[in-house]
Structure formats: C-alpha cells, structure tokens
Structure 1
Amino acid sequence: MDNTTYIALSRIDALTRSLDVTANNLANTNTAGFKASREVFSDYIVKQKDIHQLPGGKTETYTQDRATYQDHMQGPLRETGNTTDFAINGEGYFTVLTTQGIRLTRNGQFQRRADGVLVDMAGNPLLDRYRRPITIRQNDDILSVSSDGTISTQEGAIGTINLVTVDNLNTLKPEGNYLLQPTTLTHNVAHKEIRQGMLESSNVNAVTEATRMVEIQRDYDLNFQLIQTESTRRTSAIDKITAEPEA
C-alpha cells in the first residue's frame, strides 16, 4: 500500500468510530437523562522524507481519533405524572449506589421496591444527602417531593434527595447508557431544583443524528472508492511493468 491508501484508511477508521457513536446516540433517543457523545478528531501531519530541505515541502495529513466526550447540555423536561419520577432542572446529578460504588445519573426514573427503597431501573438505591438509601415506609401512601429535594409523606418529611456535581464535567466517566462514574471529588449543588412527576429526556436530536449518519456513510463510501481506484491503478501499473515484451 502507498501513502494515499494509508491516508484513506486513517479516515475510514475515524468514520467507523463516528458511525458507532452516532448509532449509539440514535439508539438512546428515548433514554431518560441520556447525554449524546461527540468525537474529537485531529489532523496528524507528516512531512515526507528527503524533501525537508525544500521550502514548503510536501506533507501528508492523516486523521487521528483523539477522544470522545459527552455533551452535558440539559434535555427537555416532559411530564409523566408518576410520583417517583424526578427531573433535575439545572445543574446536578442524582447519586445511586451500585455494586461498583456510588454513581451519578440524570435519569430520574425511580420506582418503589417491595421493601420501600427507591431504586433506579437497574435496582440501584437512590441516596439521600447522607449517602443513605431513601426508604418509604410500607404504610406511607402519599409521596411528595419539593423542589429542594425534601421527600414527605402523610407523616411529614422523611429525607432529602441529594444532588451533586463536579468542577469539570469532562472528568465524568460514562458507564452504560445513563450512569456516570466520578473520577474527581464531588460536591453538593448549592441551589437544587427537582421537579416531581417529570423526566429529563435525552438531549439527542434524532433528525440531526440521522443526517450525520448519512453524511458519515457518504464520506465512508468515497474513501472506500478511493482505495479501490488506487488498488486498480497500482495493479494495472504492475501488470504493464511485468508484461513480457512482444517477440
């Protein structure tokens, strides 16, 4: 393979990564609290050998996959009417206790377990400000949550939902489709705004992602065609060079 093929292959490798990220975004369009992922690419410039002495010497540009990050922009809030659905308006994350430790999430779709503990879809308990699972007594029928996270029943306040954040959101490590692992210290959110009976929708724009997928596919096809054309050219050149001269 010559350099043209290597350059095209580097682009195809990056496009494959983009396609995976875009497909995952589309698959989670309806996942509450999901944050879209974005890719970061850069050009890796290489100067050809034996021409570095020449002014403006020829260079080759390869595509390099640098990183993938999450877009933490808030998604739209939608009303569900479910008393154990909570949406965060503004900054902050719910804290849940998993088998791997404490994790953060914007997915406020909780349910009341048989023993009264509020858990997420995977059964991870929702934690209060003291990092204890929030438990609703068996005989408590009325459940209300104020904007500051205070949970009350007909017997009065029973706890407070905790919201935390980190100084740099890019340090949060995604786990699955809605959990985040904090890799730096967390701190409580000063001004909480929790809305009961609502969920934060995914911040994925399905139309934008679908359009991007079409663009990626087209770019992929063009680069693949370039590789095929270059392969045909080289094969033809080799055939001509190695062909026996006529008698």
Structure 2
Amino acid sequence: MKNTLYIALSRQTSLWNQLDMVSNNLANVNTAGYKGVQAHFTEHLSRSKTDEKLIDDRLSFTHDFGIVRDFTEGAFSSTGNPLDVAIHGDGYFVIETPQGIQYSRNGQFKLNSDGMIVNSNGYAVLDTNNNPIFIAPQETQINIARDGSISTENGPVATLQVVEFDDRQKLRASYGTLFQNAEGNNMTPVTPSVEQGMIEKSNVNAVVEMARMIKLQRAYENVQMMIDTEHSRRQNAIQAYARAGGQ
C-alpha cells in the first residue's frame, strides 16, 4: 500500500540527512575549533488520505526536528606558533568577515602582509574596541596573556575580544568554523582564559562517528529492502489480479 512507501521514504530521508551530518563531522575531525552536529527527529502523525479502512487512520512519519551542535570543549594541541590561541571554557573570538561580524573557537591566527592578525581565512581578528590588531614589522616577541591581552617587546598592543551568548544553539554555522549570531540572542563580552601557542582541536570522536555511520547505513539498507519487498508485493498483486480478470 502507498502508506507503507510514504512512511519508508520519510525514514530514508531522515537517515540520509543524518548520514550527511556524520560525513561532515568526519571530514572536519582535524579542523581546529570544529563542533560536531547531530540531527534530532520526531514522530509526525498525519491522517491517512486513502480509502483504506484502518483501526487508527493516523500515519507515523519521521520528521526533522532540528540540528543540535555539540559545543563541548575540544582537546588542546601545542603548535609552537605564538599567534595561536585556545580558549579555556566559555567564549568565542570575534572575526570581521565580508558578511559582517562572526564568531569562532578556532584560534589558528597569523599575520598578513600588512601585519594584521587574521584567522585561517584571512579575516581580521578584532580587539575589545572592535578594531583589527596590528603587529609592527620590527616586533618579534609576541606575548598573549591569559586574559587575551597582547604585548610585544615594545609594550601593550591590544586585547583579544572574546564574547559569550545566552543560547549557543541559536548560533548559525556560516563558513568553516565561523558562526553567525541569531537576532535576539544576547551576546556578552567576557574575560577569557586563553592559552598561547595552543589550538583547540575538533571535538568530533572519529571512532564514534564511524560507528554511527555504519549503523545509519545498515538502517538505510533495511528500509530499502522493505521498499523493494513492498514493491514486489504490489507487482505480484497486480499480476494476480490481471490473471484472474482474464479467466
């Protein structure tokens, strides 16, 4: 019956979406500051529109409920680069992009040709005054203190701006490890606890994600088998009806 196919296809769609997210998690297992995602699904009940006589005419479909991002802190890794910074606990770096101000946990920073501190995409890292941070060419001894203040052999330069949000789940993934804030989600400047010469690694567990992918693939194949079986049943029923009508 058609209802069986509709329900199976809704399940396949949800499994495909989950597989896509798991694949993206695995692709970013080595991306600094990346936060893994999972899809959440719920049951959606719909009235049957067929003429079938059912005890309960409600059909149960799989419905995409939303995406939940895992914002737990990833492990730290030493890089030896004095411009790399990792945040302990809460907080996001503030990055100026062509699409506006965005936020990230990825502290892989460098100097561009103008001496400006930028992220891996070449976008400016902002200080507490919402200004880009510049290091003079002759300044080679860069120190970043626990509170994010930057200094060189010539004295203080600026302080990294770090902010936190009322609801992290309202942050929208933008590009790479960048996030955009949602309207109405309050943002608050915080005094961070940062570590120089370190980066926060992806919080994705590759073993867990691989196991999840295998489980999802098997579930997808099982649903496909059910669809194929239902298709064969309907074909056999049609052929039997045709033979009966020809007698």
Answering whether residue 32 of structure 2 is matched by residue 19 of structure 1, we say: no
Residue deviations 1:47-67 (CA, integer Å, cap 9, x gap):
54799xx9x735431101121
Name the structure 1 match of 2:98: 99
Question: Pairwise CA RMSD of aligned residues?
Answer: 1.8
Instruction: Flag the 1:233–1:103 CA change in 2: closer, same or farther, 3 A.
Output: same
Answering whether residue 187 of structure 2 is matched by residue 186 of structure 1, we say: yes
**How many Å separate the matches in 2 of 1:90 and 1:226?**
47
Contact 1:5 1:230 (8 Å CA) reproduced: yes
Residue deviations 1:179-205 (CA, integer Å, cap 9, x gap):
00012342101x410100000000000
Alignment of 1:193-204 (within 5 A): 193-204=193-204
The total of aligned residue pairs comes to 243
In structure 2, the residue corresponding to 1:121 is in which secondary structure? coil
Name the structure 1 match of 2:205: 205
Instruction: Flag the 1:205–1:50 CA change in 2: closer, same or farther, 3 A.
Output: closer
In structure 2, the residue corresponding to 1:243 is in which secondary structure? helix
Identity of aligned residues (%): 38
**How many Å separate the matches in 2 of 1:123 and 1:47?**
53
Name the structure 2 match of 1:222: 222
Q: Which runs of 5+ in 2 are unaligned?
A: none
TM-superposed CA distance for 1:143, in Å, is 0.2
Contact 1:28 1:177 (8 Å CA) reproduced: no
Name the structure 2 match of 1:237: 237
TM-superposed CA distance for 1:243, in Å, is 1.3
Instruction: Flag the 1:50–1:113 CA change in 2: closer, same or farther, 3 A.
Output: closer
Residue deviations 1:93-116 (CA, integer Å, cap 9, x gap):
000100011100000001011111
Contact 1:29 1:206 (8 Å CA) reproduced: yes
Name the structure 1 match of 2:84: 85
Instruction: Flag the 1:57–1:112 CA change in 2: closer, same or farther, 3 A.
Output: same
Residue deviations 1:197-225 (CA, integer Å, cap 9, x gap):
00000000000000000000000000000
Letter in 2 for 1:196: Q
Name the structure 1 match of 2:165: 166
**How many Å separate the matches in 2 of 1:2 and 1:41?**
22
Letter in 2 for 1:115: D
**How many Å separate the matches in 2 of 1:231 and 1:107?**
49
TM-superposed CA distance for 1:2, in Å, is 1.1
Instruction: Flag the 1:99–1:76 CA change in 2: closer, same or farther, 3 A.
Output: same
Which segment drifts farther, 212-221 or 68-77? 68-77
**How many Å separate the matches in 2 of 1:122 and 1:50?**
54
Name the structure 2 match of 1:114: 113
Answering whether residue 141 of structure 2 is matched by residue 146 of structure 1, we say: no
Name the structure 2 match of 1:123: 122
**How many Å separate the matches in 1 of 2:106 and 2:73?**
11
Q: Which runs of 5+ in 1 are unaligned?
A: none
In structure 2, the residue corresponding to 1:19 is in which secondary structure? helix
Alignment of 1:19-58 (within 5 A): 19-48=19-48, 57=56
Letter in 2 for 1:209: E
Instruction: Flag the 1:111–1:50 CA change in 2: closer, same or farther, 3 A.
Output: closer
TM norm structure 1: 0.94
Letter in 2 for 1:136: I
Residue deviations 1:121-153 (CA, integer Å, cap 9, x gap):
111010000000010011101000000001010
**How many Å separate the matches in 1 of 2:195 and 2:65?**
38
